Structure 1
Amino acid sequence: MKQVLSAVIALGVLSAPAAVVAQAVPQSQADIALSFAPVVKQATPAVVNIYASRVVETRSSPFANDPFFSEFFRDTGPTRPQVQNSLGSGVILSDDGIVVSNHHVVGQADDIRVVLNDRREFKARVLLADAEADLAILKLDGAEDMPHLDLRDSDGVEVGELVLAIGNPFGVGQTVSSGIVSGLARSGTATGNARGYFIQTDAPINPGNSGGALIDLNGQLIGVNTSILSRSGGSNGIGFAIPASLVKEFVAQARDGAEVFRRPWAGLNGQPVDAAMAEGLGLSRPGGIVISEIHAESPFRAAGLEAGDVIMDVGGQPVNTPAEMIYRMSVAGEGSEVPVRCLRQGKEIVLNVTLTAPPETPPRDALVTGEDTPIPGLGLSGVNPAVLAEFGLPLSVQGVVVTAPGPVGLRAGLRAGDVITAINDEAMTGSKAAEAALKATGRWLALDIQRGRERMALRFRL
């Protein structure tokens, strides 16, 4: 009975003045009969079911099910097309048919069909998709006067708020579940490709809910449901939603014609300050991010930050993990100037950082090697901040980046994102120097490779 009264109290104050919200209690049987129905009726027309499919080429090998030989013969056998289907949800955000969903639902789809709650169907196309944020923005073909949800500033969301999750779990049809916001600033806990900052909820979320709406009791969108923590595949009461503030930036970039999400570049590495580090840094309590490495072209360095500084908040919002800092930068957007509060040798300072894209200096000088080299068709690029960000490379890496291995390079063991640091024991400084070194190779070819944080050597007899 206590739980029922708590829900009724929260529902009964939707139209009450702010000054009396905390004191509102049900006064009659009619008050007790209140439910989520008005909010659901308002919101569900804007939540859609998404059916996506794509055609992939698969190989049929007689060793496909063998645990040993399948590794040796995985690239053998004839190829045949196979249709892969995915089922998810989405939310309409504008009357002209802008829809948000998850990248893992529609990001690589060839055909997308969107079904509204009133059974109308539309074909849709992807305007902007990003695997790292696990978001995709769609446009419904021929849509007008569509029902849609308003975005709420997710920085105002508080733990304990009542929320509703709307989606299409397991393909059974549109379903509504209720719960509360059970956590904020969750980072590094979501499954799949998504990384960053999430709203945690105990509202039941299941497969098929992906891309659906997490709304407050005013019917505003506070997040897009994206993943759950589960051992069984069903809901255990720990679900994650991408905040509406980030969705807003995605929609803005999609309307501007961006095909790739433009994420401001930090150009630094850092780690969360734990209790042991806080004592060594002279902090009264753990919090913030201590800068361990900062690139010479970093906008934070241009503003005056240094290695050893502790970043406490960005744009007036506290940050305690690198993922949370990147989220704050992404929400602010490129070109904006944000105040960054940090501690340096125990003293607090505030510096204004202009958020920018990673610069293309020096020029990458991208090229593809010709038939006169031992590895024809090898895509190479010089190193600059834009290349570092594109391939997720360490800030201090030096050499030449493999942008595409080509057929010969793939058989030789090269991958996109590998950094060739030396060819035949000669240190590489650019793509043109690497091409010249390959052309000058004799009977032996020696490549020194850095792959992520690992180093390896490849040796070939030609």
Structure 2
Amino acid sequence: MKRFATFCLAAMLSVAPLVPAWAEGLVPRSRAEMALSFAPVVRAATPAVVNIYAKRVVAARQSPFANDPFFRDFFQNFGQVRPQVQNSLGSGVVLSADGIVVSNYHVVGQAEDIRVVLNDRREFTARVLLSDADSDLAILQIEDAPGDMAHLDLRDSDDVEVGELVLAIGNPFGVGQTVSSGIVSGLARSGAAMGNGRGYFIQTDAPINPGNSGGALVDTNGDLIGVNTSILTRSGGSNGIGFAIPAALVAQFVAQAKQGKSRFERPWAGISGQEVDAAMAETLGLDVPGGVIVAHLHPESPFAQAGIDVGDVIREVDGLAVNTPPEMIFRMSVAGLGAKARVGFYRNGKDREVTVQLIGAPETPPRNPVTTGRDSALPGLRLETINPAVAEERGLPGEATGVLIVDPGLVGARVGLLPGDVIQAINDVPVVRSEALAEVLSSVTRRLEIGLLRQGRQMVLRLRL
């Protein structure tokens, strides 16, 4: 037995030198080190995360058939329209000592009354400085803020790596401030969490539930790396796939809010394109799939001005890879209006680089708002000429042309026209200017055939006058 013990000791001594030197520093040397905890980070970060209660008034129809499983589908527009109060619950993050708060648009968008409740239960009213539905972000200002509010610093989210430990802080289900932990489980998730496809997210497995929206995703230093916004779920609860809007975009929102802007202005690309898959990469001669192939360029696009053409594959913006159109727009938005971006692209077997001036969507030709008069075939029709700025505001394709219906008026609504319809032809004659369309509508007599673009579909509306 003694010989066996001597052998074991000798084996242990012979193995010990094989332990890597870096591992020696990871061995706990005290009881305190053995009880590792997130408590110091939580103590520092939670005072800057707030609960938000928002109230908005919406118009709703009160139908006697609303609860009938058979008739409610037949009488969807039946009943009197009455105002109805909607309440929403969410979270927010204080970003400055004077009370600048970031939250989600879906929490505070169009709200008429916003209350912010701090970690110590103090309550304040707040107002929206800047909001954007596409990015699902809103910047608030707390009224009568004390001036020394606890706040979080923004970390450059481009430095975040998959596998980092993170904490999600918010108010899930209204139970009160809650902290959950996890890791960064994915980066560059575009279009995964938002139906409009403009989103670009950090993915985390830290449990996020309803009420966490607008809350903080912080690293182990307590710095904000993202704003929690949504989850993928079938049950309504957390399945470990949550999404946060990167802090780099939040920084641009705060900058524009401080400049006095009420609507977020993102750089205009003037490009339509699609991501390059494996089959397309082989055809183009690329070693690996990736990038955005340019399918259409607006004549005034800053990319076109810089020398990029249809068929080129945009692979990088400011040295960072882009693999989807939302990713490219995100990179441009982070750079900001007025900046110059280095754009790497692939053409004819070679990688090239150009400098692109980031500009807003131009107002050319002028939108020229027009309202048709009483002598028109469709009186009271409010029209605008489509230009890049109008297309950007209304979510229209970049190559869209024609005249936008802002308001169909009473007569237009009765014949089936809707706000957002694009009139492209009258009686088979193309129209691209609002004033020209108004003039044509004043001269038609018996037959009116309207060529429309509605939600990407071509339609024809035929009327007898």
- Whether 1:443 and 2:446 are equivalent positions in the alignment is yes
Match of 1:124 in 2: 126
- Whether 1:216 and 2:215 are equivalent positions in the alignment is no
What secondary structure, in the 3-state scheme, does the structure 1 residue paired with 2:334 have? helix
Match of 2:366 in 1: 363
Superposed displacement of residue 193, structure 1: 5.2
1:403-447: CA deviation from partner (whole Å, max 9, x where unpaired): 222233223222222211111222113111100111112133211
Higher Cα radius of gyration: 2
Superposed displacement of residue 68, structure 1: 5.9
Superposed displacement of residue 299, structure 1: 0.5
Distance (Å, rounded) in 2 between the aligned partners of 1:212 and 1:370:
50
Superposed displacement of residue 339, structure 1: 0.5
**Contact 1:164–1:214 at 8 Å: present in 2 too?**
yes
- Whether 1:321 and 2:321 are equivalent positions in the alignment is no
Superposed displacement of residue 71, structure 1: 4.9
**Which residue, 172, 179, 183 being the options, matches 1:180?**
183
Distance (Å, rounded) in 1 between the aligned partners of 2:62 and 2:104:
31
Match of 1:14 in 2: none
1:84-139: CA deviation from partner (whole Å, max 9, x where unpaired): 10000000000010000000000121110000000000000011110100000000
Match of 1:385 in 2: 388
Distance (Å, rounded) in 2 between the aligned partners of 1:306 and 1:23:
55
Distance (Å, rounded) in 1 between the aligned partners of 2:302 and 2:291:
19
Distance change >3 Å, CA 451–CA 81, structure 1 → 2: closer
**Which residue, 339, 343, 350 being the options, matches 1:336?**
339
Amino acid of the structure 1 residue aligned with 2:212: N
Aligned length: 444
**Where has structure 1 moved over 3 Å in runs of 4 or more?**
19-25, 65-76, 191-194
**Contact 2:164–2:183 at 8 Å: present in 1 too?**
yes
Amino acid of the structure 2 residue aligned with 1:202: D
Length-normalised TM-score, structure 1: 0.93
- Whether 1:406 and 2:415 are equivalent positions in the alignment is no
**Contact 2:57–2:86 at 8 Å: present in 1 too?**
yes
**Which residue, 309, 312, 316 being the options, matches 2:312?**
309
Match of 2:290 in 1: 287
Distance change >3 Å, CA 357–CA 279, structure 1 → 2: same
What secondary structure, in the 3-state scheme, does the structure 2 residue paired with 1:409 have? helix
1:307-330: CA deviation from partner (whole Å, max 9, x where unpaired): 111111001110000010000000
- Structure 1 window deviating more from structure 2 (131-140 vs 76-85): it is 76-85
1:49-102: CA deviation from partner (whole Å, max 9, x where unpaired): 000011122221223334565455433322332211000000000001000000
**Contact 2:54–2:114 at 8 Å: present in 1 too?**
yes
Match of 2:109 in 1: 107
Distance (Å, rounded) in 2 between the aligned partners of 1:265 and 1:392:
12
Distance change >3 Å, CA 408–CA 64, structure 1 → 2: farther
Distance (Å, rounded) in 1 between the aligned partners of 2:196 and 2:429:
37
What secondary structure, in the 3-state scheme, does the structure 2 residue paired with 1:249 have? helix
Distance (Å, rounded) in 1 between the aligned partners of 2:59 and 2:78:
13
**Contact 2:249–2:334 at 8 Å: present in 1 too?**
yes
Task: Please list, as runs of the form range in 1=range in 2, the aligned pairs for 1:263-282 lying within 5 A after superposition.
Answer: 263-282=266-285
Distance (Å, rounded) in 1 between the aligned partners of 2:392 and 2:142:
32
Amino acid of the structure 2 residue aligned with 1:131: A
Distance (Å, rounded) in 1 between the aligned partners of 2:292 and 2:447:
47
Match of 1:12 in 2: none
Percent of aligned pairs sharing the same letter: 66
Superposed displacement of residue 22, structure 1: 10
Superposed displacement of residue 20, structure 1: 7.1
**Contact 2:197–2:326 at 8 Å: present in 1 too?**
no
Which segments of 5 or more consecutive residues in structure 2 lack a partner in the other structure? 1-20
Amino acid of the structure 1 residue aligned with 2:347: R
**Contact 1:378–1:406 at 8 Å: present in 2 too?**
yes
What secondary structure, in the 3-state scheme, does the structure 1 residue paired with 2:188 have? strand
Match of 2:379 in 1: 376
Superposed displacement of residue 351, structure 1: 0.2
Match of 2:93 in 1: 91
Superposed displacement of residue 216, structure 1: 0.3
Amino acid of the structure 2 residue aligned with 1:343: Y
What secondary structure, in the 3-state scheme, does the structure 2 residue paired with 1:292 have? strand
**Which residue, 221, 228, 234 being the options, matches 1:225?**
228
- Structure 1 window deviating more from structure 2 (76-85 vs 46-55): it is 76-85
What secondary structure, in the 3-state scheme, does the structure 1 residue paired with 2:98 have? coil
Amino acid of the structure 1 residue aligned with 2:244: A
Match of 1:32 in 2: 34
**Contact 1:134–1:193 at 8 Å: present in 2 too?**
no
**Contact 1:297–1:385 at 8 Å: present in 2 too?**
no
**Contact 1:185–1:197 at 8 Å: present in 2 too?**
yes
Match of 1:168 in 2: 171
Superposed displacement of residue 210, structure 1: 0.2
Amino acid of the structure 2 residue aligned with 1:49: N
Amino acid of the structure 1 residue aligned with 2:397: P
Distance change >3 Å, CA 285–CA 22, structure 1 → 2: farther
Distance change >3 Å, CA 362–CA 81, structure 1 → 2: closer
1:373-416: CA deviation from partner (whole Å, max 9, x where unpaired): 12222111112211221222223333211122223322322222
Distance change >3 Å, CA 249–CA 30, structure 1 → 2: same
Superposed displacement of residue 194, structure 1: 6.8
Superposed displacement of residue 21, structure 1: 10
